[in-house]
Amino acid sequence: MTFASAKSGRSRLAVLFALLLVVGLVVAACGGDDDDAAPSEPAAAEPAPAEEPAPAEASSDEPLIIGAPIALSGGVSFYDQPILNSLLLAVDEINAEGGILGRQVEVVTADQATDPAQSGTAAEQTVEAGAEVMLVACDFDQAQGAARVATDNNLVSIHCAGGELAGVNGLGGLHFNVYPSSVPEGGALAQYALDQGWNDVFILEDTLIAYNTDLCKFFETSFEGGGGTIVGKEQFVQDDASISNQVSAMQQADPDAVVICSFLPGGGAAIKQVRDVSDVPILTGIAHDGTFWIEGINNPSNIFVATLADPTGNDEDPSRNEFFAKYEDKYGEQAPHGIAMQGYQIAYILRDAIEAAGTTEGTALAKQLETFTNEIYLGDSFTFTADCHISLRPMTVVQIQDGVLSFAAKPEPEVLYEPAPC
């Protein structure tokens, strides 16, 4: 495994199905504490101070390095790479405006290859290269190792991932998550179904990772709490060659809609098998954002996805449309999904927090991030507290009709899973 400095790049999504994320990026930093005082009468036998002296802040001649131990290959790369692209787009803008604390920003990447076992090693490579904050993979399972390496080195890490543990509860006080979690994701799908009058729903749940099972759990809580009925539920595993038995059970239940909690490529395969036998509306999560994965699916219509934004230029928020236009101009292709914008948001969140804290030192930077209250980045409001490092907010539902992606709704769920993950 090697690391490389990345200042520009172009994602080429050329695969049929890709593995999710969920979604992630982590950042971290080391710095100094000027308040440590030396003993007034030092003596050779006197014990060392309880706190180690912190290193001095880097000079303005040295770059401020963001480490990115993320998936640059394998299924999750089809999410992490566009997120990295949008981070680099923001870094170019930030550097043109003078950088952060007067320092130019560089991004050092290391490929964890969609393998959780390589996450920590990739993170260590970026630390050795001088990383001061860390962007980690946009999936809890894929990012755990890197986030813990960041914490061990007193660096803030940050990403965009679903699941109950993708925040301070699961990854510690130096970790932050800009994704609003699977709670409003499941809630948005549930409320959209109820708003459409789809009161009887069947669930197909991929049990491989926490994101899938959490999404189904949060959907069920919101849907049943709003008066809906789960008329059946079948499970499968990501790499199952066939789920024909589960699809047959769905047909027998004759639901108004089916929810598929999975990620690519297995989730795309499940959607294809449903579409081969039924035109029933399909509700699914952010793992199926975009349309790059629908080739070969019979009648790619009536597919509804909970996501962050519409990348086609028709989002309800003008700032997002401006961002997606800049992305296309820089990389020569449309952003593959709304998730991509989270890299851009992360870069500016880090810039503002580091500038306000005056340091990249982990503890001080984390405390500064915890002061964020309704800070707006690309139309999204971010709030972090000492107890919650995930910024919950409503999500968008987009639709795929005849293979074309468009905005559908921004539901306001009446019932959400409690307690909120943090």
- How many angstroms separate the CA atoms of 193 and 282, rounded? 10
Check if the beta carbon of residue 186 is closer than 8 Å to that of residue 216.
Answer: yes
Same fold, 3-34+58-180+317-382 and 183-307+396-409: yes
pLDDT surpassing 70 at residue 7? no
Q: Where are the domains of the chain?
A: 3-34+58-180+317-382, 183-307+396-409
**Segments in 281-420 forming alpha helices (H):** 318-331, 341-357, 362-369
Sequence-separated (6 or more) residues with CB below 8 Å from residue 311: 290, 324, 334, 335, 336, 337, 338, 340, 341, 405
Q: Is 328 strand, coil or helix?
A: helix
Which string of DSSP letters, residue by residue, matches 371-407? T--SEEETTEEE---SS--B-----EEEEEETTEEEE
Whole-structure pTM value: 0.79
The token duo for 60 is: 């303005």
Place 48 in a pLDDT band, splitting at 50, 70 and 90. Answer: very low
Q: Which amino acid is at 314?
A: N
What is the reported pLDDT for 109?
98
Buried b (16+ CB within 10 A) or exposed e, 178-212: bbbbbbbbbbbbbbbbbeeebbebbbbbbebbbbb
pLDDT surpassing 50 at residue 228? yes
- How many angstroms separate the CA atoms of 168 and 137, rounded? 16
User: What is the C-alpha R_g of the chain?
Assistant: 22
Q: Is 308 strand, coil or helix?
A: coil
Give the CA dihedral 292, 296, 297, 299, nearest 10 degrees: 100
Q: Which amino acid is at 185?
A: E
Q: Which fold has domain 183-307+396-409?
A: Rossmann fold (3.40.50)
Average pLDDT score over the chain: 85
Mean pLDDT (whole number) for 348-369: 98
Place 78 in a pLDDT band, splitting at 50, 70 and 90. Answer: confident
Sequence-separated (6 or more) residues with CB below 8 Å from residue 383: 372, 373, 374, 375, 391
pLDDT surpassing 50 at residue 303? yes
- How many angstroms separate the CA atoms of 317 and 170, rounded? 32
What are the pLDDT digits (tens) for 358-367?
999 999 999 9
Class of domain 3-34+58-180+317-382: alpha beta
- How many angstroms separate the CA atoms of 60 and 334, rounded? 35
| Cis before 336? omega within 30 | no
Quote the crossing angle between the two packed helices 266-275 and 244-253, to the nearest 10°: 50
What's the farthest any 2 CA atoms get from each other in the chain?
83
Among 82-91, 171-180, 183-192, 409-418, the least confident range: 409-418
